[in-house]
Every structure is written in structure tokens, then in C-alpha cells.
Amino acid sequence: MKCYSSRKGLLSSYLMLFICLLFLTACLSDSAGTAEGEPTLMGTGYGIASSTLVVQNVSDARAYFSEVLGFSKPKPDESGKGLMAGTTGSSIPLADNSRINLLSLNDSLQLDRKDSFIVDFLEQHEGVRMYSLSSSSVDATQTWLSSQGFEVDSIRGFRISTDSVKGWDGDNGGPQIQMVGVGVNKPAADFPHFVQEASVPYDRVKSDWLTFYSFRRSFVKHSNGVLGTAAIQIAVEDLKASRKALRKMGLRELEVDHEQQMARFELKRNQELHLKAPQSPEDELAKFLQERGNGVFGLVLEVDDLQATYDTLSTKLPEEALRLDTLLDRVTVFREHAYGVQLEFREETTEQGLLADKLNINFAGKLDSTAIAHAESLYSKYCALCHGEEREGYAADFAPSLRSKSLLSTSMTSNFMRYTVQFGREGTAMAGYLKDQGGPLEYIEIELLLKWFNEMAGVEKPTELSRDPIVGDVALGATLYAKHCTTCHGEDGEGITAPALGNAMLLATATDDFLRYAIAEGRDSTPMVAFKDSLSKAEIEGLTAFLRSRASGWDVPENDTISLPSPEEYVLNPDSNGPDFELRDGRFVSAEQVKQALEDSLRFVLLDARSKVAWRQTHIPGAVPVPYYEEPEDFIQHIPNDSTFIVAYCACPHAASGRVIKTLNRYGYKNTAILDEGILVWARMGYPVRHGQ
């Protein structure tokens, strides 16, 4: 999982339970059309970001939400600086990446003038005073809202961490959160704020939503069973006017129920905003509005088992605090018992629960029957045609057996099998199956298949392999290859009845010891025999070195091996002009442009953000290895901080390279870019690669 910042990073659900558009035709005549601005409003934001509960004392509220309401208690060091200056905060993360933020006033004198509403609010109330939606670009959000006639605050940047930034850190020292809201000096309580988080890879979250949600669901647990925020309920005095405002903002109206005085608006996937007006002058909403005016009345939280949630809550709360509605399948905690916000719990849909079970990898144990059945169905649909119904291999296109313990156990601690399935093998029948490479599978589904392969083959622990390079006699290896390997693997490594060993992707993902082990030990359940008894250690090492030398192509000279560049060699073509790259989103440069810059001998610096082991296996010509986990200070002094363009790449293709570029930005480097496709796609495209010592 090095392509992701952490397993506890951003993970959420990919179910898109869209509400039937027939609701729109059922609305009455005062239902105006919806704006088509939703992509501008939130972009690729993931939906509900947070509900901020303003309380008198964060520590007391944290304890109550944990010990009484059943939310996992944040770690002690997660209670500290609040979002605004002069506040103390704590956050309760949910599996769908939404959060319940607890915020209290620490020092009113430190508050920004725009945040003085917190003081006014706390003088009389506790509750959700503001809520936020995720936006991938608050600049675009602000422009859109202004164009629609809303009075919009200026964009504000916040750093929620007080830790100093050092090393190759993805944090470039700038704002970690940017936020914009409606209302200049006093933000509206019934309209959302919009937040952009520097750490969120919005494009990846959008394309791999199942993956983010599934992993996060595995690690973010609450004893009350809460999974996410399904809806935010907003009390309004004038339903018609509030509906019109949200439609103008760009949200899609799903349903209006005039009898119940409520309207539903779609956010992302199954998330919604609910507008609710009083049905009588004496009901709870009327009391709320009289006390506070328009604002957040309640949160609708999704749980995996409603009865279990009720049982958990009923052991801690008094009878009058809790209501179980068997007709609507809802459990409600009244706002008097939840710091001023009503909490309504509903059970997740059967479809979402089943999908979660299907993708439950269970890192601590074995796959359960539901996950196994899903893995079997994925294999049958996408793999069995070539690899055989029983993973025996060679059903078509000489696809190898996936029963081999040798292959699977030596792949458990590397990305060899993972990248094989994700990116495929260019020039062979093995296509790339990762969704963002044009395939049908998300990352989590490929991980499920890999674990299923291991379990079906009886592989319980990895075969530990060295990461060190193997030095051998390449000429001897070439002779041995011609004698022992060409019949199956082809004279030029093209693959005949066995894998294509001359494939750039294979050599980019296989370490030297991975190749050596396969030669020495063979591959059980395949025709690949063990050569450890017929070849000497020196011969096996020579054959390994020969295969590694083919990373640049089968016909390259034997002296292609490149040594680590010295600081004097960091700048490519130092006497030439620099490239005029066109960057996507101001950050990403295409592989085609970088290749052309190399061919045109232009001046720039090319950084390989992976490990030195990966650099030795395969790298782009001229690239300098700068592992993202090593200290940058000694290295950076050798990089010119002028107009010279600096391009970084990794395999992910943006995580490690993104960290390196953000670190360079922190040090004041401005002409920087990330190779959009990454080294593996670069190799798959047939662009030049080298291997190093």
C-alpha cells in the first residue's frame, strides 16, 4: 500500500444509490429546475466532510461521545488545536470519510473577527453551528457561488498541525485545509462551508471510491456501529425560500413532501441534505427555530446493524433520551442528550452491506465465505479464460499457473503480482485490469484476488528475498539463456510457452533475487524446472544479471548498466534551453512531453522518488534516485533553484513523487511537475528505460 499515504488515509463507499428521478416529477409547481452547477460546486469532492459541534468543553464532550454514545475515542494527542485560532478541537472520523468535529472556545481574544459567531453561539447554545462539504477546488466553488449571487467569504487557509515540517514530507508547509463559506462576517448556519484538504488525492478517491471506503471501513470502528453521515437535517423557517437557495447553489432536489414540510437534496452517492420546516407551532423544529433560527437540527448516521446500535445506546442512555421507531427503522437520540444535535441512526442498505462483505479482505485473518465467493466470481469473469477454471494455467495464450506457491510466496512482500494485474504486460495477452488504467477492477478488488490466490494455494507466509542487486557475468548468462531458456521464453525474451522475460514491465517489477529464486527453485505447478542442481551459483547469478541487463531492451549493448549519478550530473543537458511543459492541474506533466524533452536534449532535472532498489531495476534515462523516505537536506543543495524544471516520478504514479515535489515546493522550488503516468506506464508505452548499479 505504498501508493497510498496510509491504510488509515481517505477510504469510503463507492455505492451510488441515486434516488429515482420520478421524485422530481412528483414535486408541486413551486419546484423550480435544478442548477447544472454541481460539478463546479464540489468538483470531485467526496461529499459530506464534517459537522462541527460547538461545545463548552471538548474534553467532556469527547468522553460523552465515547463512553455514552459509543463513538471511538480519539487518541489524546488528537485533541488539541482547533480549526480556528483560539479554539480547541477533536475529531471523530467515520468510515465514509466524514467527521464529527468537536470544537470549544479556548481564547476569544485570539479569534479572527470572522469567527466571533462562535462566542455569540456559545453564550446560549451548544450544537452543530457549521457543516462542510468536500470540494476539490474551493477557488472554483467560490467563483461559482459568487456568480450565482451569493455573498461569499474570502478563501481561508488553516494549518491544523503544529508539528514542524521536515524531510520528504507530503505537507509542503502551506495550508492543510482551505475553506470558503456563504456570509462574509457571520457565516450562515443553514448553508454549507466548502473545504479542500491538501492531503486528499481527489482524482484517486473518485476513481477508487470502493477501495478508499473498504479499507477505511476495515480500520475505523465504532462500538455503536456508525459507518458514515447519510444526511444533515437543517431546520428552516421558510421551506420554499430555502429550497430555492439550495437549487440556486447547484444542488439537485430529489423530493418535496409538503405534508411533512421537508425537502431532500442530493450530495454524493447516498448522502443528502434535508430541509425541514415546522409542521406545527409547538413541535420540536418550531422550538429549535425559536431558540436558534435556521441551522443544523440533526445528523442522520448510517450503521451496519440497527438493533445492535439500539442495544448499545440503551445500556448507557436513560429511557427518555432514546426512541426506537420500528415503522421507519430508526433509532433517535434527542438533542438534549447529544450536546444540542439530534442523532438519528438508520441501517445501511442491504446492497451496501453485501458489497462491504464481498470486499472484506480481513487483514488479520482469512477471507470469509462471502469474500471468497466474490473473489471466485471475479476470477471466473476476468482470469479463467486464459489461466484456467482451476488456476491451472495454459488454458489460452500460455498464461501461467496461478497455483504456484513459489510464485505467490515470493510476491507477497513485493509489488510483482500486484503490478502485473494492475498494469498488465505490454506486448502480451495480459492486459492491465486497474480501473484508472482502463481496466474493470478497483485496487481493492485486485487485492482481494491476490489474497484469494494465496489462500487457495496454501501460502501462509512470504518467502523472504534480498533487495540487494546481484552481480554476475552477463556474457555467461547470455550463453546459458540461449542454451536453457529460449525454447520456452523465446530467443529475444518474447515468450513462447512461458512468460516474456524481455518485457519491460516484468523487469521493472521483479527484483534481482526474485529472478534468481525463480531460476534456482523453479515454479511448482508450472513447466519451469529448478536449475539449482544443474547450474552453479555463479551461473545462476550470471543468468540473473543477463536478464536484468535486458531491462532496456533485448538488443542493447552489454555495458548499458548505469552508475548512480553524481551531483554534477543531476541537471540533464545543462547548456540547453528548458522545456515548455503544459501541466495538467498545474502539477502533472505527460509522459509524452517528458520523452520529447529527453529526445530534444532539453535542460531539466528528473527525479526517481522510489527506492534505490527500484531505480536499479528500471529507471528513466538520466533519472536521479531520491527515495521519498530519506532525508532531503543533503540532496537538495545540489539541485538548482532557478528556472530549471524539476520532474519527479514514481510507480503509483503520484504518491511518492507528489511527496518529493511538495517538499521541493516547501523549499522554494517553483518549476516542478509530477510525471502523470509513472514509470510503469512509461515502460508499458515502450519509452526508453535503463537499469543501474
In-domain check, residue 447: yes
Same domain, yes or no: 584 and 546: no
pLDDT digits (tens, 9 = 90+) for 587-607: 999 999 999 999 999 999 999
In-domain check, residue 1: no
Domain boundary among 336, 352, 368: 352
- What confidence tier does 646 reach under pLDDT thresholds 50, 70, 90? very high
pLDDT of residue 323: 96
Mean pLDDT, residues 400-417 taken together: 93
pLDDT digits (tens, 9 = 90+) for 502-529: 888 898 889 999 999 999 999 999 999 9
pLDDT digits (tens, 9 = 90+) for 47-67: 999 999 999 999 999 999 999
Q: Are strands 156-158 and 48-54 parallel, antiparallel or unpaired?
A: unpaired
List strand residue ranges (DSSP E) for 380-479, in order: none
Same domain, yes or no: 428 and 321: no
94 touches 100 (CB < 8 A): yes
In-domain check, residue 226: yes
Domain boundary among 544, 560, 576: 560
Same domain, yes or no: 543 and 652: no
Supply the pTM of this predicted model: 0.83
**Total domains, the chain:** 4
* More confident of the two residues 554 and 9: 554
89, pLDDT greater than 70: yes
Domain boundary among 525, 541, 560: 560
Same domain, yes or no: 311 and 368: no
17, pLDDT greater than 50: no
Same domain, yes or no: 312 and 395: no
Percent residues over pLDDT 90 in the chain: 68
* More confident of the two residues 431 and 78: 431
Average pLDDT across the chain, whole number:
88
pLDDT of residue 427: 79
Mean pLDDT, residues 392-404 taken together: 92
12, pLDDT greater than 60: no
Q: Angle at CA 100, nearest 5°, toward 98 and 105? A: 140
* More confident of the two residues 36 and 49: 49
Enter the C-alpha cell of residue 400. 501461467
19, pLDDT greater than 60: no
Same domain, yes or no: 318 and 211: yes
CATH number for the domain that contains residue 631: 3.40.250.10
Same domain, yes or no: 274 and 400: no
pLDDT of residue 176: 86
DSSP calls for 129-173: EEEEEE-S-HHHHHHHHHHTT--BPPPEEE----SPP-SS-S--S
Same domain, yes or no: 189 and 288: yes
Same domain, yes or no: 341 and 246: yes
Q: Angle at CA 331, nearest 5°, toward 329 and 332? A: 135
30, pLDDT greater than 70: no
- Write the burial class of residue 556 (CB in 10 Å: 0-12 exposed, 13-18 middle, 19+ buried): middle
Q: Among candidates 273, 275, 278, which has minimal Cα distance to 289? A: 278
Q: Are strands 272-276 and 262-266 parallel, antiparallel or unpaired?
A: antiparallel
Long-range contacts of 331-338 (CB under 8 A, 24+ apart): 331/306, 333/69, 335/127, 335/288, 335/297, 335/298, 338/69
Give the domain extent around 553: 474-560
Three-state SS at 187: coil
pLDDT digits (tens, 9 = 90+) for 334-391: 999 999 999 999 999 999 999 999 999 988 899 999 999 999 999 999 999 999 999 9
Same domain, yes or no: 197 and 56: yes
pLDDT of residue 247: 96
Per-residue exposure over 665-687, b if at least 16 CB sit within 10 Å of its own CB, e if not = ebeebebbbbbbbbbbbbbbeeb
Mean pLDDT, residues 396-404 taken together: 91
492 touches 502 (CB < 8 A): yes
pLDDT of residue 395: 92
In-domain check, residue 620: yes
Please tell me the least confidently modeled range out of 268-277, 295-304, 629-638.
629-638
In-domain check, residue 102: yes
Query: Who contacts 524 (Cβ-Cβ below 8 Å, separation ≥6)?
Result: 403, 404, 405, 406
pLDDT of residue 74: 65
In-domain check, residue 19: no
Mean pLDDT, residues 533-549 taken together: 95
pLDDT of residue 13: 32
In-domain check, residue 13: no
Mean pLDDT, residues 192-218 taken together: 91
CATH number for the domain that contains residue 75: 3.10.180.10
In-domain check, residue 17: no
Same domain, yes or no: 339 and 367: no
Mean pLDDT, residues 436-465 taken together: 94
Same domain, yes or no: 424 and 341: no
- What confidence tier does 556 reach under pLDDT thresholds 50, 70, 90? low
